[in-house]
Structure 1
């Protein structure tokens, strides 16, 4: 089988630290080119993989030795470069969120389908086997009928120079860390979710939201409470509550490849802990993308649904149009109902 040849747009940390090593190590993938605005940085990033260093992103899209493009650029740059890559005939794996606008996300998914190309959003945690173990326990009725879902992903304060503090680049807690608990809710509750309430806030001097919370519900009344932020103590986990008990999982979103997850089930009978097998979600993600290209996998509709929910959450929180990334202040941020916000 011919290896899928990746070109990388940019030298972001996640590309250098996680994705490039996985692409180079995978039996079905290889790295052929790395593009950067800084030629020297592109050369340093490409060198360990014997890949070509390309000056400028557009030049990489013109190469005939690139089958697929990985886009780890700032979120606000995803839409234009994903579109250019698709129009150049390349499959695309783009960092999350796929775009910062639901209309752009839908348009790009439709474009990929129209051109017979694979477009995937790089939400890696869903490719870890621990989440299938949780889903299996729920489907077996271990905690009875599902009643509620709670999830949190919070990280410590980032340096002021970090791009995630820059509104013009699509920064903010919702797009950076809020995507994780939201996608976890979609994974375990399905796509039938609507936003009931939301709040996005920033501290003094912040130009983006650095904290947020949301309440969602399915049409059957199963609720999802989400918490996220990037000025917090570290927390990465979720719980599912049922009529007979609850299941909890820590290190849910960014576990190391050698981490053995601990699944905790609490019922009237007591607490049962299961130590699951370690899994490499980065390698799994790259392999799943390569397989989708090989088999002609269809667009993932979950990215469309997620984008619509992100837009709804912003609207309910009072942030207005997708291009407005300014946080609400502590005084004027609010929790409001979806019905009253859309009136």
Structure 2
């Protein structure tokens, strides 16, 4: 288990500034405001050693019992917790229970993320990871479950209009969230809690229609990044330890269970465009060869009928 890593000896890697894992681990230890320059603090050597131990563990440990631990470290999810040694033991027990639980099978993928990685870890999450506590609320989990579907199936314009309608609904129904809407630190103007210094929210009631449209675009980007760079890590882990099916994994990551659609997605086509081509019965006229999209003569003729946006998205991949 996790404490085994503490026994590892590390003298196998010559770390350099090109090592992103190392930089992420010791970055906060390299700044000294008193001198105005970056210097290594006393405990940075210990951090470097930790990174090397993690690398050794990932490369050389092949024990099946450590598959959960290795996958969590590979996805850097261990870094969201304070005392991961203790958290890992709990996660390992959860994994054993979930593998045989009828209740687990019936959950949607967002609920599975919550029950496995977040539930009852309120005090174990680091400050920077407190954003995951939103998932304690059922409405939040429902929102993200629907959002994942929308990012795969709605066009950019349709998704922004959907968000604007949601803003309008909040206003019409006098929902408190309308005057304290979470948008993130980059664009926040007011704190979520009165005692919190971080400005992560906005008052939608004070914004014009045009401003709300711009905020909808920011909102969409922030949420899409959160799904792609945060939630997807949890999904990768659940798939690797066999707590979700290949179908669940593919629907979350690619928006489809069909191998053909996944191949088109990997080649660069958006899910929305794949669905459009399917509707127009054009998927039979394209193929993926060595990771590159190819179209026959009939498809090239069809492309001439498309608007400039769709034509550009396809032509850049041919």
**Larger fraction in strand:** 1
Greater relative contact order structure (CA < 8 Å, 6+ sep): 1
Same fold, TM exceeding 0.5? no
Normalised TM-score (structure 1)? 0.29
